[in-house]
Structure 1
């Protein structure tokens, strides 16, 4: 029930903010309804973008490193195998909403060149995450499980923060071949994730230029 409590708390704070926002009290004569709809769409874009940006930052540069340095290697891999599908699903959903909201606020025919570029960056992030979700992540998890099986036969994989894999692969051609394939797939997945993160980073710079503090 802890997640339900957090969710209800989040909804309550969001409802409170919407209720007392200036746009909520706009009148028909001054375009208040239109302004309210626009504010809702801006809020959707901001919340989904910031969620995607924050999650990508944490998983890419903080959480993964901490787990790798403190968990047995097989346990770390199994955890990543459960976490990454959920991670890429969430980022993809957030990116889709963010793209839709930004596209609604800045229709292509009337958008400036900068706004079109920003829409392109958001679409790129969405595409890279979908590629990871449906292509690279399933391939990586499948290869990881096969490699774990071979490593268990060699009594390795429970070390923390370092690996006996390289030394064992020198005398095990099957493991060496798996390492090469896993490295290629994992490298492409990491590249797609970095490209997505970079696209979000560029959009964050754009948003920072729009904020008046």
Structure 2
């Protein structure tokens, strides 16, 4: 994880630099941009955002639920412990690129208030992902490993679902305490993930509005041409 930490730090500093000093990267504070980079930056923003939003949608609402309902619980937990660091790393990188690209395309000094809000949503998504990657996910994985050890001693964990764990916790105070602590940490991780997804969803609304506005403008132009 050391390399991803250094990479995310570098991209984060790059994003901050673009936001507060766009002139350094060819984007003027009055809103003008280098034409040679503008199209590439727009593409980078769109691809990075769509990748982050799509991955968050799948992992949060589809993939994780399917795996939980069909895999033995310990197997599910071990798979998640490998998948989530990669997931949060990828989404974090995509969010950082989106922040940098959006900051370049909409410099803070000349950005409108809605654009500043959107930059805030992207930064929030990035921050929530970092909190999961470096704080909540390592804590959750460590707590999961400790609980797996206790559950193996009680000969449970190979079943699908929580029923045996809940039954064993009634007579095992140690397992009950671990369940409570795991639930708290996992809840914070889930909350951060939902907040990140919500921030990305707000930006998707903004992009959809931009697309619709562009279509309306195109329709007006076509109407004028037809009338002529």
Please state which band the TM-score falls in when normalised by the shorter chain.
Answer: 0.7 to 0.9
- Give the distance between the partners of 1:37 and 1:84, measured in 2 at CA: 33
SS in 2 for 1:160: coil
The yes-or-no answer on 1:169 pairing with 2:131 is no
Shift of 1:162: 4.0
What do residues 83-117 of structure 1 show as CA deviations (whole Å, max 9, x unaligned)? Answer: 00000000000000000000011111100000000
What do residues 139-162 of structure 1 show as CA deviations (whole Å, max 9, x unaligned)? Answer: 000000000000000000111134
Is the 1:136–1:186 Cα contact (8 Å) retained in structure 2?
A: yes
Extract unaligned runs of 5+ from structure 1.
1-32
- Give the distance between the partners of 2:65 and 2:165, measured in 1 at CA: 19
Is the 1:73–1:163 Cα contact (8 Å) retained in structure 2?
A: no
Count of matched residue pairs: 181
Correspondence list, 1:54-65, <5 A: 54-65=54-65
Task: Name the residue aligned to 1:148.
Answer: 148
**TM-score, with structure 2 as normaliser:** 0.78
What do residues 155-210 of structure 1 show as CA deviations (whole Å, max 9, x unaligned)? Answer: 00111134311110110010011001000000000000000000000000000011
Correspondence list, 1:134-213, <5 A: 134-211=134-211, 212-213=214-215
Correspondence list, 1:81-92, <5 A: 81-92=81-92
Is the 1:157–1:163 Cα contact (8 Å) retained in structure 2?
A: no
Shift of 1:37: 1.3
Instruction: Say what the alpha-carbon RMSD is for the aligned residues.
Output: 1.1
Extract unaligned runs of 5+ from structure 2.
1-32, 216-228
- Give the distance between the partners of 1:55 and 1:35, measured in 2 at CA: 31
SS in 2 for 1:164: helix
**TM-score, with structure 1 as normaliser:** 0.83
